[in-house]
Structure 1
Amino acid sequence: MPAPENKGTKLRRAVCPGSFDPVTNGHLDIIGRASRLYDVVHVAVMINQSKKGLFTIDERIEMIREATAEYGNIEVESFHGLLVDFCKQRDIPAIVKGLRAVSDFDYELQMAQMNIGLSGVETLFVPTNPTYSFLSSSLVKEVAAWGGDVSHLLPPHVHAALTARLAER
């Protein structure tokens, strides 16, 4: 864990936001890369009342904490509302987002421009590792629900949780 802030030191902070339902190796690639660039990386799990996730917010947070424990500079929590408000409350000047394809960029650029206009919070785009360029939580859930093997796309504890949850349905 980074040293606590003192009068002469300000920790470099960033946030990696998402729904993480469930967290995938693609998410973890972006979070891990951000953790090497920043002193503290906040992983913000979105609460979206209009969507019913496969996993509860608390389950997602716990899965991410377990998956990122080795990094030592990750803080995982939920948020509701505007991401820029989350950032302002925690003195976070940067959002780190992974881009899988040009189609991601079109949407994310609009969000980045809105966020900087609202609050001055910068967005940094990180190109996804080509290994994960097709990967999304939705696709993982769909393939797993049809019996496909997604074990190589998730941390083992997340794969176990996904398999168990789908078996309940």
Structure 2
Amino acid sequence: MRVAIYPGSFDPVTLGHLDIAERGAKVFDKVIIAVMVNPHKNPLFTSEERKELIRNAVKHLPNVEVDSFPGLLVEYARDQGASVIIKGLRAVSDFESELQMASLNRHMYEAAETLFIPTNHNYSYLSSSIVKEIARHGGPIADFVPKHVELAMREKFSNQS
């Protein structure tokens, strides 16, 4: 069985993230969307909330699971028996840092290949940070995230006021 890990903070999960997940699910027997837990960041959603939002968004993909992990991605990939790490690339600027990370991951866990999937051009401008900033100011985000994520974001920001 070919297992791939699709790591990220997914705070929040966007339509761009989901596009990469759907495309990865066509190629691999099992894709694990792995929410990275970074204690040094202050995310909008907890890791449990992010996992639930993602699960709701990928429920139509039977070979996709959602999990979270602290620590090193390569250790998590090894524990899951994954041989591939999926990374979405929006622009050439993403490639340089992602290539460096792929090389380091490969050095630490030789069995893991990194598969770069170029973002659909419809989402090349999209990032979780931009979506959060727009939502924080009450702007329209319906074209960027699933409806349930939009509602959850609106609720979070209304509670912060």
TM over 0.5: yes
Structure 2 CA distance for aligned equivalents of residues 119 and 61 of structure 1: 25
Q: In 2, distance between residues paired with 1:38 and 1:27?
A: 16
Report what 2:119 is aligned to: 128
Say whether residues 1:20 and 2:1 are aligned partners.
no
Greater Rg, structure 1 or structure 2?
1
1:30 match: 20
Residue of structure 2 equivalent to 1:6: none
The Cα of 1:152 is off from its aligned counterpart by 1.1
Any stretches of 5+ residues in structure 2 without a counterpart? Answer: none
1:104 aligns with 2:94: yes
In the TM superposition, 1:1-169 aligns within 5 A as: 11-120=1-110, 121-169=112-160
Unaligned runs of 5+ in 1: 1-10
Q: What secondary structure, in the 3-state scheme, does the structure 2 residue paired with 1:96 have? A: strand
CA RMSD of aligned residues (A): 0.6
Letter paired with 1:153: F
Amino acid at match of 2:29: D
Distance 1:33 1:142 in 2: 27
Q: Structure 1-normalised TM-score?
A: 0.93
- In structure 2, what is the Cα distance between the partners aligned to 1:50 and 1:142? 20
Q: TM (normalized to structure 2)?
A: 0.97
